[in-house]
Amino acid sequence: MTTCDREVVAALEQAIAQRVGERRYTFWFAPHTRFAWDDGLLVVGVPNHFFQDWLTKSFGPDVRAAASAVFGRVVEVQFRIDPELFQAARRAQAESANNTVAAPAPPLVEEAKADRPSVVAGVENARPKRTRRWHRLSDFVVGTGNRLAHAAALTVVESPGTTVNPLVLYGPVGTGKTHLLEGIYAGLRKRHPEWRVVFITAEEFTNRFLQGLRAGKLGAFRKYFRDCDTLLVDDVHFVAGKTASEEEFLHTYDALHSDGRQIVVTCDCHPRLAGDLPALLTDRLIGGAVWGMQPPDDETRLQILRAKALHGEPRLPDDVLRFMADRVRGNVRELEGALQSVRHYGLVTGRAVDLTLAREALADLIRHAVGAVQLAQIDEAVCQVLGLERGALRSKSRTRTTSHPRMLAMYLARKHTPTAHSDIGRYFGGRNHSTVVAAEKKVRQWVADDALLRHGEHSWRVREVLERIERELWR
């Protein structure tokens, strides 16, 4: 494989930029790619699998068209991981994480410009400005359960208020929703330092609204939020059921969205499944990009632990990290807790961290995890209640008598275990994570509609079947 000469590279850069736009080229290509020839094939070197997938899907046709225009003939293009770019990206990620720890943190909510009143949203008793350590998109570990959400967050930073607006990130706790939201904040503040980017939780939005209402200063409150350039709201489901706050947030949303301002919110479930959210707000949220975030699978857990283990002492051997990734199957916070437990145990006992020490330090955590509901128990309970043969749910069968019970099992696995979608799908017949996501949504809809499940000669309400299976599960 030979590197393209400078004139060819310059021509390719110009041709690609003309097709995708200067900003997109600068953001996605300029610092991350390298062009080379390999037996008549134009190879675009990239730093990792994320860039390989994203550039292939998003810009593959544009790059092929640009290459064909430069060379005057049809040119095949392939995106490959370049070892040097891979290593450079890893070094940059480590340096970014180190700088994040050392740098002074910006405020929780970006205050108004210096010539504006210091009182936040017109509420005189607002708490003093706080500081926090902000996560960055560059230190987010990308896996199968969060790849699209991460890509959408990058797109928001690249082109705020255009292609992805609003952006809704949903999922259970500890899956990285707030990390991405903070990363968007940090990215926008860096690219647009003159902007006023507001980051706030829905609870704090509600509290400030009520304070402004009692103080008779709703005008200042509305001006603060509706005049911002970007609004980032964590846990938007908190406003559900609070009629006045719901209405105020809806009007704030409309004011910002009509002006093309970027809005990003996080939620604990898909907006359609958040039954307490008003229909008007749900309708607006699903009008944008809605991406789910799932608990990490085996490989992602290992990558998260490796990234976390880069900071702090003592350093952990890779076999210890692999052990932890295999045994601690919870969310990111549980992984962080396990990492801290192992380190602290080593410091207290004065021993080097190895597999033996890790087993001792995590004995209680692993024992409790083993005592929790397992996929095999759910499998057995569903088969017992519905009269299926053992192993039926793990087969390749797609008949309704098997597929519908399998969907119930997947739903219960998501409800009662921290297992990732991909691991659940792998257990139940080698399905992929999207199959489990679809099954969970389908069963939720059945429950909401009070639907009937027909199995053989019997018909039961789905809600009642689930209750029977859960009783069997906890016997």
Beta strands 262-267 and 230-234, pairing class: parallel
SS3 458: strand
What is the sign of the dihedral through the CA atoms of 339, 344, 349 and 351?
A: positive
Distance CA 187, CA 167 (A): 15
Report which secondary-structure segment, H or E, holds 279: helix 279-285
Position 443 in a domain: yes
Q: How far is CA 40 from the centre of its chain?
A: 39
DSSP letter for 270, please: -
* 327 and 268 in a common domain: no
The pLDDT assigned to 243 comes to 81
Position 386 in a domain: yes
Judged on CB neighbours under 10 Å (0-12, 13-18, 19+), 57 is: exposed
- Of 371, 387, 418, the last residue of a domain is 371
Q: What is the DSSP string of 327-369?
A: H--S-HHHHHHHHHHHHHHHHHHT----HHHHHHHTHHHHHHH
The pLDDT assigned to 185 comes to 93
DSSP letter for 127, please: P
What is the residue-level pLDDT of the chain in tens, covering all 475 positions?
A: 566 677 888 888 888 888 888 777 877 787 788 888 877 788 898 888 777 877 888 788 888 888 888 888 888 888 888 888 887 777 765 554 444 433 333 333 443 333 333 334 444 444 555 566 788 888 888 887 888 899 999 999 988 888 788 999 998 888 889 999 999 999 999 989 899 999 999 999 988 888 888 888 888 899 999 999 999 999 998 888 778 888 899 999 999 998 899 999 999 888 877 767 888 888 889 888 899 888 788 788 888 888 888 887 888 888 889 988 888 877 788 888 889 889 888 888 888 888 888 888 888 777 655 556 788 889 999 998 888 888 889 988 888 889 999 999 999 998 878 788 888 999 998 888 889 989 999 998 888 888 888 776 777 788 888 888 877 775 5
Name residue 364's amino acid.
Answer: D
Alpha-carbon separation of residue 229 from 32, 90, 165, 223 (angstroms): 29, 32, 13, 12
Position 101 in a domain: no
Best CA proximity match to 388, nearest among 447, 474, 465? 465
The pLDDT assigned to 297 comes to 80
Range of the domain at 10: 2-86
SS3 472: helix
- Token reading at 160: 């705020």
* 271 and 150 in a common domain: yes
Beta strands 2-3 and 34-38, pairing class: antiparallel
Beta-bridge partner residues of 77: 42
* 269 and 138 in a common domain: yes
The pLDDT assigned to 74 comes to 85
SS3 287: coil
What is the sign of the dihedral through the CA atoms of 412, 415, 421 and 423?
A: negative
Distance CA 256, CA 258 (A): 6
Position 243 in a domain: yes
The pLDDT assigned to 372 comes to 60
User: In the sheet that 289-292 helps form, which strands lie side by side, from edge to edge?
Assistant: 197-201, 230-234, 262-267, 167-170, 289-292
The pLDDT assigned to 4 comes to 66
Position 381 in a domain: yes
Best CA proximity match to 23, nearest among 153, 191, 196? 191
What is the sign of the dihedral through the CA atoms of 255, 261, 267 and 271?
A: positive
DSSP letter for 132, please: -
The pLDDT assigned to 422 comes to 85
* 78 and 209 in a common domain: no
- Of 292, 317, 346, the last residue of a domain is 292
- Of 275, 292, 309, the last residue of a domain is 292
Residue pair 230/109 in contact by the 8 Å Cβ criterion: no
* 184 and 283 in a common domain: yes
* 397 and 337 in a common domain: no
* 261 and 134 in a common domain: yes
Number of domains in the chain: 4
* 313 and 189 in a common domain: no
Position 115 in a domain: no
* 382 and 352 in a common domain: no
Q: C-alpha angle with apex 463: 460 to 465, nearest 5 degrees?
A: 50
* 150 and 189 in a common domain: yes
Residue pair 385/468 in contact by the 8 Å Cβ criterion: yes
Position 32 in a domain: yes
Position 98 in a domain: no
Q: What is the CATH number of the domain that holds 219?
A: 3.40.50.300
Q: What is the CATH number of the domain that holds 343?
A: 1.10.8.60
* 391 and 276 in a common domain: no
* 349 and 205 in a common domain: no
- Token reading at 292: 């789910």
Q: What is the DSSP string of 68-111?
A: HHHHTS---EEEEE-HHHHHHHHHHHHHHHHHHHHSPPPBSSPP
